[in-house]
Structure 1
Amino acid sequence: MPRHKTTDPGYRNKHGQVVVSRTGFPSESFPGQTIYHLRCSHCGHDYGSNGTDIHLRRCPSHQGGVRGEPLRTPPPNLFSV
């Protein structure tokens, strides 16, 4: 499966939305997609987005963007340091 730079952590779109990480949780709005943690570089608002529209996203807090998908805390990992 090809990788797209728009889903890489650190990617910033033209509206200042930055990919923080891949959550690993499935998207509720787009079957087959994963939720990514995004942060607005202008106001710091954190929200989730599926991978297909990261390049177009606007902040839902102050840029009139669509409400993001929920960010969930992953369960504890027995192997985490």
Structure 2
Amino acid sequence: VLDGDYAPRSAVDIFVKDLGIIQDMARSAKFPVPVAAAALQMFLMTSAAGMGRDDDASVARLYARITGTDLPGEPQT
């Protein structure tokens, strides 16, 4: 992110899948995973914003859009 490099090395949708599995397993065990739950929501929002196939660093891009912050390598707002 700091270098402005958002080349896909992973994908947001992979995290959505994996965090969903974690949520399901935790729910079955009645085990709380609040940080994973919050992360899942952010990855879901990023995917819904059209960045599902983009690198997982795109979550930072979504935060930047929400807060009006400029990131390296992104168009200035």
Please indicate the TM-score interval, normalised by the length of the shorter structure: under 0.3
TM-score by length of 1: 0.21
In terms of fraction of residues, the more helix-rich structure is 2
> With CA pairs under 8 Å and 6+ residues apart, which has the higher RCO, 1 or 2?
2
TM-score by length of 2: 0.21
In terms of fraction of residues, the more strand-rich structure is 1
Rg larger in structure: 2
